Structure 1
Amino acid sequence: MDGEREADEIVVVPKKELEEKEELIKSLEAKARKMKSDFSRYKEQIEDKEEVIRRKAYSELANRLLSVADTLDRAMDSQETDGGCEVVEKMLEGTRSNLGMTYNQLLNAIGVTPIVPLPGERFDDELHTAIETTPNSFLPDKAVVSLVRKGYMLNGELIRPAEVVISKGGEPGEEEIKTETTPDTILSKFIRRVESRLFKRKFKELKEREQELSKNEEMLRNSVKELDAREEEIKKRMEEWTARKEAEESRIRELEQRKEVLTAELEESKRQLSIIHEHLKALDAKKDKMIIESIALNRYNKELLAEKEKLLNAIEEMERTKESVNAELRELEERKARSIEELFKVEEELEKTKELLNAELRKKEGREEKRKESSLMELEMLC
């Protein structure tokens, strides 16, 4: 029986406590949403910062390597020959192809696109820089005449404009006429000697340029090392961000678990609240019954009030009678007081009379004593 009673008992939770739990759940949900939004914003900020750092690093590396690219470009342009020794031409061609391959590999490695405007192309002030103007009637105004130095773009962003010579739209300059001379035997020997000297000189220049390229390659390696160091720093930041992300995710999981617990408590509270509502309905029915009874009681009260008015009227009459009786009593009291005064006077007179009588009695007793003594004396004398 006790177990059934305990099972049938209803745990009544105050409405204020339910509202506090609902407010707590809402605040926790809002806090979780805010943490998620803050975390997403923080993630976006970190990604933006990483992108800015990456772009800045690549831009600095590209700016440092532009001198190497310019050196390779000048080396390829300077190795043009007007004919001569076939061996020298083959060596120069091989060197030119190697330099071109190195140049292209360098540009591909750093993600740089060269800007090479062709002669006759329209001048673009966003990509080109005019360092000189020359009159030319064969080209339109502000057209590219020749390229002085290449420009470069990194991931769609301009890091250096191309330096060009543009046309002014004037008379063309006089063309130089090249005269061809028919060499003779002595001249051909002299030319071969000159070509051999030129070959030695160019070979020496190639060695110097090779040394310069090795220096530039060393600088490129240092830049790559710096880039690797920055990548390591970015990785460390990513690891820190990942650790922080995991901590935030664990905190979010804890909040979700707490939310589930509070949700279960809220469901239990709602169930208890529904039971309370049923009890409230029963109480409302009792209330209706009590209202009906109160209406009947009001009618009975009205009847009682009518009787009360009658009683009050009777009490007023009794009060008036009481006042008249009190007046009579006061008169009787006054009479009594006068009677008492008269009685006191009579008693005083009686006391005085009593004293007089006592005095007379004492006198009579003295007289009788004297008579007795005289009688005794007479008897003694007679005896």
Structure 2
Amino acid sequence: MTHLPEFRSTDNPKERPRVQANAPQPLDELLASAHVVSIPMRVRFRGIMHREVLLLDGPAGWGEFGPFLEYGDTEATAWLAAAVEAGWQGFPAARRDSIPVNATVPAVAAAQVPDILARFGSVGTVKIKVAEKGQGLADDLARVAAVRAALPDAHIRVDANGGWNVEQAVTALGHLQAHGLQYAEQPVADIAGLAEVRRRLLRAGTPVPIAADESVRKENDPLRVARAGAADLIVIKVAPLGGVRRALEIVAQAGLPAVVSSALDTSVGIRAGLALAAALPDLPYACGLGTVSLMDGDVSADSLVADGGAITVRSVTADPGLLERFAASADRRHWWLERLRRVHAQMIAGCSDA
């Protein structure tokens, strides 16, 4: 990482120079541009009913800093780098202007599936959460069966978020494949386990490709999963990888097909995911960028939601009225601003050590 260049503050933040994505702007500039929001969820997702994020209003556009609450400051530095890229550098040139997206079905009861799907409109691909704590294989089978009944011709993919062990994953995928699976995302937590699940499925003649998500974005070396032969494709998220340009580098070096996904973002964060999907040389799979539909609100009056199974690539501006409506409480705003200070300090320290 390069050393931080010096920038002089100006009265008009829109006149400040753009910088490379991995170099944080001065802290006072970030704090002055920060808005903290809490968006209610329509349904519990990832164990939460409100999604909190910090938005930055930069000269190149809006950026989103929203590492989940349990993430440590070191891990969160990549999320801040991605937000700075979006707000102060902008995105690479696009190769396409429309991005196909999947619907996402949380770990809800099978009876709730039709209501969840209705929020996404016409879609050709659905990702279904499985391996939820407190649930069993019967719950997963019922949920997947409900999606298949509602959408007989759709591509179906399942996401376990590393919730199974190897034996559970092989057994579960053997049963779930009866409904036709495009792939299984992160069936087990570790790379060695992914490789073992993949080998066993191949030996058993169970045609379920393996996608790696956490084993890419939460590893110190995001390319290790490719070298280990542990996945058939990788799931790429902009924020945890440090920005669109860094994500493009990882996809190129991995040499595996990529699915672009979100980290439960507002439309500001989804815009960065669309930028990545639009810039990739190849886009063989529908992207997991439709998650704004799971929220009961947004920061943009022109939300980035799917229309006919795709989202048009376009700019996003946070609406002042919505920022006010969904503004986090004073104590939560303080918590996020303190987090921003700590993570920014970590980024500065990292640049100084380089």
TM-score for both structures, normalised by structure 2: 0.18
Which structure's residues are more often helix, by fraction?
1
Which structure's residues are more often strand, by fraction?
2
